[in-house]
C-alpha cells in the first residue's frame, strides 16, 4: 500500500509538469454518512448523515486524466436509539476525521468538455489516502449485561488513529465559463478497519466499517 501511495504521488507531480497553466484550485462541501456497527439500514438514510468539507488542487495530465490532491474534514455519527430493536443496547458515537487523499479522475469525454461541446461531463474517481480518526463512543446508556465483556474489550482494544483509505466514486463536471467548474461527486472511502465507530466486538466484528461523502465542488483554473 505504501508503494501504491508513492506511485500516485509521483504520477501527480510528474503528470502535472507539462500543463502547469491548467492547475485548478477548489473546494467541496456536502453530506457524509457511514456504514458500520450502528448503521440501521444498508441504504443511506438522511437522518444519519453528517457533514464534510475540504479543499483540493487538480492537476491535468491530459484531456481525459487529472490527478487531484485534497484535504478534508469529515464527521460521521450513529446511535442505536434510532433503531427500536437496539434501544436496549443504546450505543452511540461520533467521529471528527481529517482526510488527505491523492486520486485520479478519469473523464472519458474531457476533450469535448474542454472544447465546449459538452455541458455536463461524467468522470470516475479512484485513488488512496490517509485518514486521521478518533471516535468518541458512548456506552453510558447500555442497560444489558450480555455484552459487558465485549464492551470492556472494545474500550481496551488499541487501534491506530491513522488509517490508509481507498476512495472510489463517480462525479459530473459542469463548465461555467472558461475558468470555473461546478461539479457533483459521490465517493466511498474504505478504511480497512472495524473501529471507525470505535465499536467491534460488542456489535458486529465480522465486517469492517466504511464511509462516504456526497457533495458539490467548485474550482477555478489558475
Query: Can you give the pLDDT at residue 145?
Result: 64
Give residue 21's pLDDT: 56
Of 187, 183, 190, which Cα lies nearest the Cα of 218? 183
d(C-alpha 123, C-alpha 155), whole Å: 42
The answer regarding whether domain 2-221 maps to CATH 1.20.910.10 reads no
196 Cβ partners below 8 Å, 6+ apart?
34, 36, 76, 95, 133, 135, 209, 210, 211
pLDDT at residue 20, rounded to an integer: 45
User: Contact, 49 vs 61, CB < 8 A?
Assistant: no
The residue ranges of every structural domain in the chain are 2-221
- For residue 54, the model assigns a pLDDT of 97
Q: What is the pLDDT of residue 16?
A: 41
- 19-68, pLDDT tens digit by residue? 445 899 999 999 999 999 988 777 777 778 999 999 999 999 999 999 99
Q: Is the dihedral of CA 84, 87, 89, 90 positive or negative?
A: positive
Express each pLDDT in 105-122 by its tens digit. Answer: 999 998 888 888 888 999
pLDDT attached to residue 161: 94
- pLDDT (0 to 100) of residue 5: 46
Residues 6+ apart with CB under 8 A from 174: 119, 120, 121, 181, 182, 183
Contact predicate 74/135, CB 8 Å: no
Helix, strand, or coil (residue 11): helix
Q: What is the pLDDT of residues 113-149, one digit of tens each?
A: 888 888 899 999 999 999 999 999 998 887 766 568 8
Predicted model pTM: 0.85
Amino acid at each position: 500500500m505504501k508503494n501504491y501511495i508513492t506511485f500516485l504521488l509521483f504520477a501527480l507531480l510528474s503528470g502535472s509538469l507539462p500543463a502547469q497553466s491548467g492547475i485548478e484550485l477548489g473546494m467541496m462541501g456536502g453530506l457524509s454518512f457511514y456504514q458500520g456497527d450502528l448503521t440501521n439500514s444498508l441504504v443511506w438514510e438522511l437522518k444519519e448523515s453528517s457533514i464534510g468539507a475540504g479543499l483540493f488542487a487538480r492537476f491535468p495530465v491530459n484531456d481525459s486524466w487529472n490527478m487531484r490532491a485534497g484535504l478534508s474534514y469529515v464527521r460521521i455519527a450513529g446511535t442505536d436509539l434510532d433503531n427500536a430493536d437496539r434501544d436496549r443496547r443504546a450505543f452511540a458515537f461520533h467521529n471528527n476525521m481529517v482526510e488527505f487523499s491523492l486520486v485520479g479522475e478519469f473523464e472519458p469525454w474531457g476533450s469535448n468538455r474542454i472544447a465546449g461541446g459538452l455541458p455536463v461531463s461524467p468522470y470516475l474517481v479512484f485513488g488512496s489516502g490517509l485518514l486521521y480518526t478518533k471516535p468518541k463512543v458512548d456506552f453510558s446508556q447500555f442497560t444489558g449485561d450480555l455484552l459487558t465483556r465485549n464492551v470492556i474489550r472494545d474500550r481496551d482494544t488499541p487501534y491506530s488513529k491513522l488509517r490508509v483509505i481507498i476512495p472510489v466514486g463517480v462525479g459530473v463536471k459542469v463548465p461555467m465559463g472558461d475558468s470555473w467548474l461546478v461539479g457533483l461527486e459521490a465517493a466511498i472511502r474504505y478504511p480497512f478497519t472495524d473501529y471507525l465507530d470505535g465499536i467491534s466486538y460488542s456489535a458486529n466484528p465480522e465486517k469492517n466499517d466504511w464511509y462516504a461523502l456526497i457533495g458539490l465542488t467548485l474550482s477555478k483554473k489558475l
